[in-house]
Amino acid sequence: MVENQKKLNFKGGVVPALGFGTYDIRGKECTEAVRHALEVGYRHIDTARFYDNEHEVGQGLKQSQADRDEIFLTTKIWNTELAPHKFIKSTEESLRTLKVDHVDLLLVHWPTKDERETLLAVETLNDCLQKGYAKYVGVSNFNVTLMEKSVALAPIVCNQTEYHPYLHIDRFIDFVRNHDMFLTAYCPLAQGAVFKDEALKSIAANHGKSIGQIVLKWFLQQDQIAMIPKASKPEHRISNYAVWDFELSAEEYEDIQKLDRQYRIINPGWSCDWSK
């Protein structure tokens, strides 16, 4: 239920910690997934220009009974559009496609190897704020060095990056906590890899819960972390949102901490140096 949702405060804003990711859900299935996610209780929806599903995400918002004001909607501008005029144009296209007058969070989706170009896009986020296109702005897939440079250029509130039990990113998390921001964990379920894990299976059995619920609870017990699990199957959307009636013990939490093996799933050629 919405009432149980954990909320994160950041720079004067509030975001529901448990969101819904839509990568690779397309067409009518995507409209229905977003409508259903909102019915289940999710109030934080993640899309991107690159996902080619903004129209369907917008239709899902429209078809749901949920108030637009209650929904935290994120989109991202792709890294071929970082030049200021392209960035603004792509944001305007995004709003038109989503059929909304603003998004809650607008992100630079990826840096490029050209730092000057990347930071110019960060500066352009100010123009998007000024035009009312977004309530808040942020970045995705930025390392700590780029984050340090970015906070001097725009009032960014978020870094969306890969984070799950097999990939710990402590320096990234410390950075957002020290700057009144939040980190959104993408691939929170390691794209399904967690479901075969024996250690997680045993914790799930202790609670009579699913492995997905255990992993999402591990995130929810951390400060300033939002997560956006994707689920194309309705039963997965329901199960992933039924996480409000139990807690992991300190020992169970530590057992999950031990699963880190720096396993990174998303690492395209244009990624920044994650160690910086």
Ligand X SMILES: NC(=O)c1ccc[n+]([C@@H]2O[C@H](COP(=O)([O-])OP(=O)(O)OC[C@H]3O[C@@H](n4cnc5c(N)ncnc54)[C@H](OP(=O)(O)O)[C@@H]3O)[C@@H](O)[C@H]2O)c1
Q: Which residues here bind ligand X, judged by CB under 6 A? A: 21-23, 46, 109, 140-141, 160, 186-192, 195, 210, 212, 228-233, 236, 239-240, 266
Minimum CB distance to ligand X, residue 45 (Å)? 9
* Backbone dihedral angles phi then psi of residue 111, each to the nearest 5 degrees: -75, 170
Taking phi first (over 0 means left), then psi (-120 to 50 degrees means alpha), and beta for anything else, what does residue 27 get? left
Minimum CB distance to ligand X, residue 232 (Å)? 3
Q: Which residue is nearest to ligand X (CB)?
A: 21
Catalytic residue (one of 23, 42, 51, 136): 51
Q: Is 186 assigned a catalytic role?
A: no
| Residue 75 CB burial class (10 angstroms; 0-12, 13-18, ≥19) | buried
Are the CB atoms for 57 and 72 separated by under 8 Å? Answer: no
* Backbone dihedral angles phi then psi of residue 269, each to the nearest 5 degrees: -55, -25
Are the CB atoms for 87 and 68 separated by under 8 Å? Answer: no
Pick 100 or 167: Cβ nearer ligand X: 167
Report the alpha-carbon distance of residue 6 to residue 131 in Å, rounded.
30
Pick 76 or 251: Cβ nearer ligand X: 76
Closest CA to 124 of 161, 72, 82, 68: 82
| Interior/surface letters 26-40, b for 16+ CB within 10 angstroms, e for the rest | beeebbbbbbbbbeb
Are the CB atoms for 217 and 206 separated by under 8 Å? Answer: no
Pick 22 or 118: Cβ nearer ligand X: 22
Pick 131 or 142: Cβ nearer ligand X: 142
Minimum CB distance to ligand X, residue 19 (Å)? 8
Minimum CB distance to ligand X, residue 210 (Å)? 6
Pick 12 or 140: Cβ nearer ligand X: 140
Minimum CB distance to ligand X, residue 142 (Å)? 10
- For residue 233, give the DSSP letter: S
Active site residues: 51
